Amino acid sequence: MVRDPILLTPGPTPVPPEIRQVMARPIPHHRTPEFQAILKEVGAGLKTVFRTQQDVLIFTSSGTGAMEAAVVNLLSPGETALVIQGGKFGERWAEICRAYRISVVEFNPPWGKPLDLESVKQETTKNPSIKAVFSTLCETSTGVVFDIKGLRAAIGPKPLLVVDAISGLGADPFDMDGWGVDVTVSGSQKGLMLPPGLAFIALSARAWEQVDRSTSGRYYLDLRLAREAWKETDTPFTPAISLIIGLAESLKIIQKKGLDQVLANNRNLAESVRKTIKGLGLELYTDPACSSNGVTSVKVPAGVDGKELLKRLRKEEGIVLAGGQGKELAGKIFRIATMGAIGPEEIRVGLAALEKVLSSMGWKAVLHG
Amino acid sequence: MVRDPILLTPGPTPVPPEIRQVMARPIPHHRTPEFQAILKEVGAGLKTVFRTQQDVLIFTSSGTGAMEAAVVNLLSPGETALVIQGGKFGERWAEICRAYRISVVEFNPPWGKPLDLESVKQETTKNPSIKAVFSTLCETSTGVVFDIKGLRAAIGPKPLLVVDAISGLGADPFDMDGWGVDVTVSGSQKGLMLPPGLAFIALSARAWEQVDRSTSGRYYLDLRLAREAWKETDTPFTPAISLIIGLAESLKIIQKKGLDQVLANNRNLAESVRKTIKGLGLELYTDPACSSNGVTSVKVPAGVDGKELLKRLRKEEGIVLAGGQGKELAGKIFRIATMGAIGPEEIRVGLAALEKVLSSMGWKAVLHG
């Protein structure tokens, strides 16, 4: 095949050529006025995408680094967190909390289903010691988008609300300040169309107050160091310079289109994917009441080897889809991303290849309903 | 100026065009056989550069992330570490230890001077509770290279020896297994000629035993997760894919030249820098008995504003040197790197520009001795 593989995966997503080109320029030093101007620019652009007035700080790490930063900077050993699980990344919040001896109250929505906000409310009321509630915006492993605005209403104003928007940011609607989110974390390789390697975090004023109180051990992810450096438009440790230069370009692309238009494009694209999938007689995994616009999960049809399907799509058609994660979903679903630089043309080619390979594997469309 | 600025800084160092080109290719997914082949390749290449038979694991972080990984995976709160300071990065070891409630015994060689191994020996003998000794190979802030082989002899076989080779690796001679080093950490933006964003760590068999014993809180930097994933040629969290692809190219360049030749080139280049500096009548900051081959520190001559010098070199001549770090050295020294892709031509242009700008600032060469 002459063309490069088409990534339709929910991270990394394809990196547009104009971003790759600026990252391929000779590297500047990070402690120069030129690089500080870039840091200022990305700082402003990230606020727009997060929809927050707060500073958005940058870590050189995968998104998980920023998740851990949220945990260790807000909570001390022995304090209690409510964790909305319902997928691999929700479970990660609980794993991080436990690694730092935070007491975890698990809330387990069935995978692929919406949050039962009434039950969350009861759980919160029952446990007045809950200091923070951790959730994902888009649970990438299932394709569910959680109702964060509703979650804030359910838990009431008191607990800190911490949201993993790693794959949700720039993909699904999100309004940090408007929805009363205290901490938002995200990453570079999803809606922001960059290679992985950068993580982002923004905190409300009251979340910042906790940062000075937490007794959890931390250094590289210590937000006090990040905040001090950011006052001087700097980072406490050498940042991933080339990725930050790419980020400036990515934010320009998003600003030029407008965030609302980006989100509308994702929604239209996800809707067309879901329509085509159903038209092919395949079954969506995720409840339509809570389907993310950034990623669509599809059940592997009976009689088809899910791993073989993805392998053949990759090798024969140059189409990269994501499989299911964890023992619950490995081989049982596949996932198609509709965020970042993925557009109608990539989706058209990808879905045609999917139909072709499925047919060659003996699958026959059975039209439902 | 038509050409791009020349970085003569000890991190980031210039990234060669062939590395920038491979990183600018469309990004592959990290969970594919193609990317696993790259991970295997860099795993083998890193062992050669570290001179170790142990696996070298990769973190997406600045070098400090791997330093913290060493601390939290080896030591538990209340245990004791001897920290060789003598510069900003030696002090960082102590800061990280204290952030995790490790008891720190400081050893403070005068900045710019060699280690007094006899005193280190006395300190170690006096404190039998010392479980690990932390040192830097090249202390980038001063340009000192510490005698790691001698340090092992001085501390005896018992304590774990942990070495920050972030700027030393591929710049100064280093032999992890041969010198009895238990943990080596490094980073991507120095001798490896990459943008910042990757950190590396290798552990001896007995250091790995400690990893399961440590009670320090950790998740993103938990070496147990990294080790499990590495068995499957994987990383526990989405890695900085593009930088790892660049790393494969960087290691090919080093292997083609041969590590010994790379180190010999750095030595010759550093010696020629020191000779030229002295010839100009400038004074070296670092004791010649312990000068790194990767970075040379020079005293800002009396009557010259050190910050203004670097600013004019950058703006008028497109030459980027590093200043002194911290209140001890800011404005008092400047530093010239001779590692990675920096070669004789870059150094020649850089030193000519230095002489020109110094002269225009009223400085006149006073030939010593």
- List the beta bridge partners of residue A40: none
CB contact under 8 A, B217 and A25: no
C-alpha–C-alpha distance, residues A94 and A361, integer Å: 39
User: Which part of chain A is CATH 3.90.1150.10?
Assistant: 6-12+258-360
Nearest-by-Cβ selection for B220 from A28, A61, A314? A61
Q: How many CB atoms lie within 10 A of CB B75?
A: 26
**Partner B contacted by A301 (CB < 8 A):** no
Residues of chain A with CATH 3.40.640.10: 17-256
Residue A287 is encoded by which pair of tokens?
């409840």
- CB-based contact A219 B30, cutoff 8 Å: no
Q: Could you give the angle at the alpha carbon of B318 between the alpha carbons of B315 and B320, nearest 5°?
A: 95
Query: What is the predicted ipTM?
Result: 0.97
Does A224 contact chain B (CB < 8 Å)?
A: no
Cβ-contact A222, A73 below 8 angstroms: yes
CB contacts, 8 Å: B239 with chain A: 62, 196-197
Class of domain A6-12+258-360: alpha beta
Q: How do the pLDDT tens digits run along chain B, 369 residues long? A: 679 999 999 999 999 999 999 999 999 999 999 999 999 999 999 999 999 999 999 999 999 999 999 999 999 999 999 999 999 999 999 999 999 999 999 999 999 999 999 999 999 999 999 999 999 999 999 999 999 999 999 999 999 999 999 999 999 999 999 999 999 999 999 999 999 999 999 999 999 999 999 999 999 999 999 999 999 999 999 999 999 999 999 999 999 999 999 999 999 999 999 999 999 999 999 999 999 999 999 999 999 999 999 999 999 999 999 999 988 899 999 999 999 999 999 999 999 999 999 999 999 876 654
Q: Is the peptide bond before A17 cis (omega within 30 degrees of 0)?
A: no
Q: How far apart are CA A232 and CA A212, in angstroms?
A: 20
CA distances from B271 to A262, B136, B336 (A): 55, 21, 12
Contacts of B100 in chain A (CB under 8 A): 217, 219
Please answer whether residues A185 and A312 qualify as being in contact, where contact means their C-beta atoms are separated by less than 8 angstroms: no
C-alpha distance from B275 to closest chain A C-alpha (Å): 26
Which positions in chain A touch B60 (Cβ < 8 Å)?
Answer: 60-62, 65, 196-197
User: Alpha helices of chain B — where are they, by DSSP H?
Assistant: 17-23, 33-50, 63-74, 88-99, 117-126, 148-155, 205-213, 223-231, 241-257, 259-279, 306-317, 326-329, 344-360
| Whole-structure pTM value | 0.97
HSE (side-chain half, CA atoms, 13 Å) at B38: 24
User: Which has the closest alpha carbon to A46: A259, A226, A308?
Assistant: A259
E strand or H helix that includes residue A200: strand A198-203
Which tens digits make up the pLDDT trace of A184-233?
Answer: 999 999 999 999 999 999 999 999 999 999 999 999 999 999 999 999 99
Q: Which of A237, A312, A336 to mutate to test the interface with B (most CBs of B within 10 A)?
A: A237
By the CB < 8 Å criterion, does B242 face chain A? yes
- Contact yes or no for B242 and A23 at CB 8 A: yes
- Residue B264 CA, chain-centre distance (Å), reads 17
**B17-256 maps to which CATH number?**
3.40.640.10
